[in-house]
Amino acid sequence: MVQAAEMLAGFDPADHLLEIYDEKELDVAAVQEQTDALGFTVIRGWVDPRAVTEGRETLERNFDPGLDRVRGPDGYDLLKTNYQRVCIGHSGHVIRDHNTRLQRIFYNPIWEKDLYGLRDTWVRMSRFRNALMGFDRDFCIERADGGLFTASRVQHYPAGGGFLSSHKDLPYARSLKRNTGLERGMNFLLIMSKKGVDFHEGGGFVELDGEPCYYEDYFDVGDLLVYDSGNKYHGVAAIDPMETFDWTSPKGRFSGLVHLFQD
């Protein structure tokens, strides 16, 4: 059951939701305007929720903690392969703009073997991202382009305390500006777990007027969250913190991302 105390006063999910099924229906200016006005927009219909559930179930079924790898200082290109890692503590930016976390990441580039059946979902998400950010339809989908590549990946926040502290994506926004001149680092986050079913406490949030809005309290698997992650605080509150933590279990919360990373 969703914890009632986490519901945000005065928040109406219907204000944030847009149903958009295909490119003919996509009004980029309207999405941008709504995102600016409300802090985030949720797109329903663009991604097939059945493909997302099947992808997550495939990942869970084949999950092998023995595949975790450590990435050394010269290992950046691992991000362009199917590569699984655990992140504990700071991200790579230890001195500046760090944010603490406990998560597992499954990098799953579009050009690599389609381990989870999520390739079409990554392509759909990337096309939405490209439209919103003003890139060509197929930018960074088949290959790196313009100094950037699509870091399509699944993030797992394990039950028993998986979390990501509140932060803005400052290194991402800086890299994007350097490579493209864009002033804003938009993010497109795919909800992959159902709160109340797959996990019960905590979850992803975007801060609205200084208060965390736990979007999985209101939205569903397959919904695509759009927000300016370079300017809006966001994170993941501890997932089911009263459960016993177990790195070898895929229990917990999953989400999907298609950030443009430095090539």
Residue 139 φ/ψ, nearest 5 degrees? -55, 130
The residue (of 251 and 259) whose beta carbon lies closer to Fe ion is 259
Least spacing, CB of residue 97 vs Fe ion, in Å: 10
Parallel, antiparallel, or unpaired: how do β-strands 101-107 and 163-167 relate? antiparallel
Distance of alpha carbon 187 from alpha carbon 98, whole angstroms: 18
The residue (of 49 and 212) whose beta carbon lies closer to Fe ion is 212
The residue (of 200 and 232) whose beta carbon lies closer to Fe ion is 232
Within 159-188, the residues that bind Fe ion by CB under 5 A are 169
The residue (of 169 and 240) whose beta carbon lies closer to Fe ion is 169
Least spacing, CB of residue 76 vs Fe ion, in Å: 19
Find out whether 90 and 98 touch, Cβ atoms under 8 Å. Answer: yes
The residue (of 20 and 239) whose beta carbon lies closer to Fe ion is 239
Distance of alpha carbon 217 from alpha carbon 230, whole angstroms: 23
Residue 102 φ/ψ, nearest 5 degrees? -145, 100
CB atoms within 10 A of CB 248: 9
Least spacing, CB of residue 21 vs Fe ion, in Å: 27
The residue (of 169 and 217) whose beta carbon lies closer to Fe ion is 169
Within 12-71, the residues that bind Fe ion by CB under 5 A are none
Least spacing, CB of residue 165 vs Fe ion, in Å: 10
Q: For 72-79, which contacts have Cβ atoms below 8 Å and span 24 or more sequence positions?
A: 78/107, 79/107, 79/151, 79/261
Radius of gyration of the chain (CA): 17
Within 110-169, the residues that bind Fe ion by CB under 5 A are 169
Q: Is 228 in the site for Fe ion (CB under 5 A)?
A: no
Least spacing, CB of residue 206 vs Fe ion, in Å: 10
Please count the residues of this chain forming the interface with Fe ion, following the rule CB under 5 A. Answer: 1
Least spacing, CB of residue 242 vs Fe ion, in Å: 26
Distance of alpha carbon 209 from alpha carbon 203, whole angstroms: 18
- Residues lying near Fe ion in the complex (CB under 5 A) are found at 169
